[in-house]
A and B are shown apart, each in its own frame.
Chain A
């Protein structure tokens, strides 16, 4: 966009056609800013978790109480779903909408299985006595923080699955592959972010 056109747009209160940071689309910049805000949310939760754990004399050892076999598998599943996500974008870039839709649906399936496994894990732990206001192993806040943080992340995955299905619909409706590229790239940013946050949650809440 030329300077003259930019000043013309500014003078008439029209949004410039190109984002200075993400020339592909304003939507992409919007998603990055949203994710930065969301990351502060997760960062705050994890910092608070660290603070409460450090001040507690009877915090249970997470990997002994929670078990890490299932969550390690869930971590692997999310990493796999990040790969199917990049493959969806790669195929769309090559103009193959069919393969893009397949990989988007596989990504959504990975997310749905993740949420299912999380529901299974929660049910199992609740039966063993882990509750939001107490547990048999020590500090009550252990259960509070566990359900709050993994639940907040699980909500993100659930939202992501719905978002992925909606974007698959967009790819199906638009006949030109190039017309959906930004939309798929933006849902990809969200999905990889959910994967990135899980890497942090898995380390800080299960392994440490």
Chain B
């Protein structure tokens, strides 16, 4: 029941989320290139989402099995990305081969 719930410091979580959002916007303009900026932004987003789930949604105070139910979609989404990625690289590779061939006849 209600009384059994521990209440985290919601305002601290709020300020943390606000500061992390400002940091994210700052990261966009960092000159480290796509890979590093992308990794930083993804890490920050996952961190912020985890804060919301753990404290606002009280997942930290729930049973482990409920945590497993909650984490399953993240695992599925990550798997999906890895399933799509080889296809993405295949198309890139194919396009790279096609481009010079298409450009050659135009020079004649």
- CB within 8 Å of B: which residues of A? 20-22, 24, 29, 32-33, 35-37, 39-40, 43-44, 46-48, 50-51, 54-55, 57, 63, 68, 72, 75-76, 79-80, 82-83, 85-87, 90, 92-93, 178, 181, 188-189, 192-193, 195-196, 199-200, 202-204, 207-208
Cross-interface CB contact of A199 among B28, B49, B63, cutoff 8 Å: B49
A68 and B77 alpha carbons, distance in the complex (Å): 25
Q: What are 12 inter-chain pairs, A to B, with CB distance below 8 A?
A: A20-B65, A32-B69, A46-B77, A48-B84, A68-B28, A72-B21, A72-B25, A75-B21, A93-B5, A195-B56, A199-B52, A202-B45
A176 and B59 alpha carbons, distance in the complex (Å): 26
Instruction: State whether B21 touches A76 (Cβ < 8 A).
Output: yes
Instruction: State whether B1 touches A82 (Cβ < 8 A).
Output: no
A29 and B73 alpha carbons, distance in the complex (Å): 16
Task: Judge if B106 is at the interface, Cβ distance under 8 Å.
Answer: no
- Closest 6 pairs (CB-CB, A-B): A43-B77, A39-B73, A51-B84, A203-B45, A54-B88, A47-B80
CB distance from B99 to the nearest CB of A (A): 9
Looking at chain A's contact residues, the main secondary structure is helix
- CB within 8 Å of A: which residues of B? 1-3, 5, 7, 10-11, 14, 17-18, 21, 24-25, 27-28, 37-38, 41-42, 44-45, 48-49, 52-53, 56-57, 62-63, 65-66, 69-70, 72-74, 76-77, 80-81, 84-85, 87-88, 91-92, 95
Cross-interface CB contact of A193 among B57, B77, B81, cutoff 8 Å: B57
